Amino acid sequence: MASLGVEDAKRLAAYRAIDTHFPPNAKVVGIGSGSTVVYCVERIVQKKATGEIPSDTVFIPTGFQSKELIIQGGLNLGAIDGYPVLDVAFDGADEVDPALNCIKGGGACLFQEKLVAQCAKKFIVVADFRKNSTALGLQWVQGVPIEVVPLAHARVRQDLLEMGALTATLRLGGKAKAGPVITDNCNVIIDAHFGPIADPVALAQKIKMLVGVVEVGLFINMADVAYFGNENGSVTAKFSTGEVKMIE
């Protein structure tokens, strides 16, 4: 059997997550950001067309990208400040450890992603096999994304380096923008690489205490289950209870 490509693996994980965890009578559902979430919305639109998803379900985005996906899919758009309790939220991740702690924020949407996940009764992570890791910071070496008030970026970078970060880099816009990436909340992003993170709980707490930090891209004890699409066509499901299932 030929190996699946990354996009097919993402679609496998997304479809499995939606088919398994989308409540039949869901009222409010969170939609995360990133490339894997595209396939979550794709599956939701398919199921809505067949009547498997209620037509009055409201979908809450975590940023500009997911807002556009909701609108383009013909789904009902809501906002988190109007719906502080969600039935479920689906989102991707940059890296996931065995305890389902995640690094998120590669797309610079970490604050709204964490807010939506926190408001959800159940938080489901969907990803491909590359994100399934034995420790945070092992495979995702770009660094922990940290949203920072622009005025404080220099001081926060210094604090992170003193805290033990190997690198702490202000994320720039590249060819598309002169200057730093600006989040949907008008802040900047610092990517801080600590190497493999032995204690993500303690690190998240220390970073969050820094003056100027809005949010940290370490999602600790938030995910209920993570689905990883594999190259061989199977899906690995990891649960917060420690259970692991291989789904063919």
What residues act catalytically? 113
- Residue corresponding to tokens 């037509």: 55
- The CB-based long-range contact list for 179-185 (8 Å cut-off, 24+ gap) reads 180/150, 180/153, 181/108, 183/108, 183/109, 183/111, 183/147, 184/63, 184/64, 184/108, 184/109, 184/112, 185/111, 185/112, 185/147, 185/214
Residues near 20 by Cβ (< 8 Å), separated by ≥ 6?
none
- Residue corresponding to tokens 């969170």: 30
* Residue pair 1/232 in contact by the 8 Å Cβ criterion: yes
Read off the tokens for 58: 């409201």
- Residue corresponding to tokens 């926190």: 118
DSSP H stretches of helix in 34-144: 37-49, 64-72, 110-119
Read off the tokens for 9: 């693996």
The kind and range of the H/E element at 201 are: helix 200-208
Read off the tokens for 42: 């794709």
Strand partners, 95: 103
